[in-house]
């Protein structure tokens, strides 16, 4: 798959909606556990739990590998390019150009995920030529469904995605946003 995909830029910084989405750095390793070691994130995302320093290092290394392969971009959500408040992901997948996100518990309720998703979707449309971006969400994850709705996504009439992760079954709905 990666042999046919064009690589992503080595460095990415996106601005808009009052945010700066930037590459994760070595300096962020100590902040990542505070953002990602939380029961909500452990339940709704594939991130490991507990999420400590070793998990942060592995995530940063994996981020760099997937970027080089041209499959995934992981960017820190910030308001000014400084302290990370969460993460937004863009993934090239057979089912489409997918966006994902996680916001640290202390930073929720500020519209960070909605704004980060809109900025990342604009990047996918303008820089990657995507015709549609998707979110894959569990219907019971009301916070993520609210993000999808507020960011302008609509529920697509496509088959549900079922599976099991971390010993728990899941069913994902696919939400889509078309190129403006």
DSSP H helices in 70-169: 112-128, 142-150
Overall average pLDDT of the 137-163 stretch:
96
pLDDT at 3: 44
Question: CB burial class (10 A; 0-12, 13-18, 19+) of residue 111?
Answer: middle
Q: What is the 3-state secondary structure (H, E, C) of 56-97?
A: HHHHHHHHHHHHHHCCEEEEEEECCCCCCCEEEEEEEECCEE
Compute the distance between CA of residue 22 and CA of residue 138 in angstroms, rounded to an integer. Answer: 27
pLDDT confidence tier of residue 95, bands split at 50, 70 and 90: confident
Torsion angle in degrees (nearest 10) through CA of 10, 15, 18, 23: 0
Q: Is the pTM of this model over 0.85?
A: yes
According to the model, what pLDDT value does residue 5 have?
Answer: 65
For residue 142, pLDDT beyond 80? yes
pLDDT at residue number 93:
86
Measured in whole angstroms, the distance separating CA 161 from the mean position of its chain's CA atoms is 18
pLDDT tens sequence across 20-75: 999 999 999 999 999 999 999 999 998 999 999 999 999 999 999 999 999 999 99
Q: What percent of the chain has pLDDT over 70?
A: 97
How confident is the model over 95-113, as a mean pLDDT?
95
Q: Quick one: average pLDDT of 124-145?
A: 96
pLDDT above 70: residue 86: yes
pLDDT given for residue 2 in this prediction: 38
Residue 19, pLDDT above cutoff 70: yes
Q: What is the mean pLDDT of the chain?
A: 94
Q: What is the pLDDT of residue 1?
A: 40
Question: Does 4 score more than 60 pLDDT?
Answer: no
Cα–Cα distance, 164 to 149 (Å, whole number) = 25
Once rounded to an integer, what is the mean pLDDT over residues 9-14? 93
């Amino acid at each position: 798959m990666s042999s046919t995909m064009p690589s992503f830029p080595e460095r990415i910084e996106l601005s808009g909606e009052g945010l700066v989405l930037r590459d994760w750095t070595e300096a962020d390793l100590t902040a990542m556990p505070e953002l990602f070691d939380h029961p909500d994130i452990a339940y709704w995302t594939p991130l490991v739990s507990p999420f400590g320093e070793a998990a942060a290092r592995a995530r940063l290394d994996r981020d760099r590998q997937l970027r080089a392969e041209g499959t995934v971009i992981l960017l820190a959500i910030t308001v000014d390019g400084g302290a990370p408040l969460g993460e937004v992901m863009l993934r090239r997948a057979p089912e489409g150009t997918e966006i994902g996100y996680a916001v640290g518990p202390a930073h929720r309720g500020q519209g960070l995920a909605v704004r980060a998703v809109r900025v990342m979707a604009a990047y996918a449309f303008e820089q990657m030529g995507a015709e549609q971006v998707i979110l894959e969400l569990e219907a019971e994850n009301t916070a993520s469904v609210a993000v999808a709705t507020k960011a302008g996504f609509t529920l697509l009439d496509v088959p549900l995605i079922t599976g099991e992760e971390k010993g728990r079954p899941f069913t994902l709905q696919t939400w889509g946003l078309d190129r403006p």
